[in-house]
Amino acid sequence: MNLTITPQAMDWFKREIALEKGMGVQFFGKVYGKTDVHEGFSVGLSVATPEETMVQVTNENYLFFIDKVDDWFFKGYDLTVDYDPSLDEPTYRFTESK
């Protein structure tokens, strides 16, 4: 699994989320909503401390991660986090892992 944060999304995170040392932005599956590959579930995010990560990336001193507990939601997919200026929020695009 790959996790990609676009430059536009990175700008949003720097504006909206301040991280304390040891903390990161966690992506997880949550009930309600939908994604391009899940019906009834959407992507949530929170500021948290990583535990057992299945993937993590550091971008401009920001840690982004998905914990293994959310393997059920992300397994078989790569996640690209982008930004929608009309909504002023991140968007999530899933593609099949290669």
| Residue 83 pLDDT greater than 80, yes or no | yes
Supply the pLDDT for residue 41. 72
Specify the amino acid at residue 88: D
27-69 per-position pLDDT tens digit: 998 766 666 666 667 788 999 999 999 999 999 889 999 999 9
**CATH label of the domain that carries residue 63:** 2.60.300.12
Cα 69 to Cα 21: distance, rounded to the nearest angstrom: 23
Cα 37 to Cα 95: distance, rounded to the nearest angstrom: 9
Residues whose CB is less than 8 angstroms from the CB of residue 55 and which lie 6 or more positions away in sequence, other chains included: 1, 2, 3, 65, 66, 74
Instruction: With beta carbons less than 8 A apart as the criterion, state whether 67 and 29 touch.
Output: no
Indicate yes or no: pTM above 0.95: no
Please report, rounded to a whole number, the percentage of residues in the chain having pLDDT higher than 70. Answer: 90
Domain span at residue 78 reads 3-96
Q: How many domains does the chain have?
A: 1
